[in-house]
């Protein structure tokens, strides 16, 4: 059976070009790399651990504070 793109899909993954798939979602979004393990930087607003390494330069926000900051700065139309 063919998928939408017309490539034949099998259980071994044949027909999938590994070079065409992005390395990570972070690289696609142009965001800072996530740390693989501790130590993590603390959020500058709530002091909770973030997803960023301790060596990351700039303002580090936890996911909750990042979301709130995005809501606050979003265009209200």
* CA 57/CA 67 separation, integer angstroms: 20
Q: Which of 6-10, 66-70, 71-75 has the lowest mean pLDDT?
A: 6-10
Helix (H) or strand (E) holding 52: strand 49-53
Q: How far apart are CA 42 and CA 62, in angstroms?
A: 8
Quote the pLDDT of residue 38: 76
Alpha-carbon distance of 45 to 7, in angstroms, equals: 48
User: Whole-angstrom Cα distance, residue 66 to residue 34?
Assistant: 14
In this prediction, residue 75 carries a pLDDT of 79
Give yes or no for a cis peptide into 39 (omega within 30° of 0): yes
pTM of the prediction?
A: 0.49
Question: Looking at the predicted structure, is the pLDDT value of residue 47 above 60?
Answer: yes
Is residue 24 predicted with pLDDT exceeding 80? no
């Amino acid at each position: 059976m063919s998928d939408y793109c017309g490539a034949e899909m099998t259980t071994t993954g044949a027909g999938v070009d590994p070079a065409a798939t992005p390395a990570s979602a972070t690289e696609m979004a142009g965001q800072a790399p996530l740390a693989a393990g501790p130590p993590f930087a603390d959020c500058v607003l709530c002091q909770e651990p973030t997803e960023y390494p301790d060596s990351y330069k700039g303002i580090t926000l936890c996911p909750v504070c990042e979301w709130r900051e995005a809501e606050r700065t979003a265009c209200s139309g």
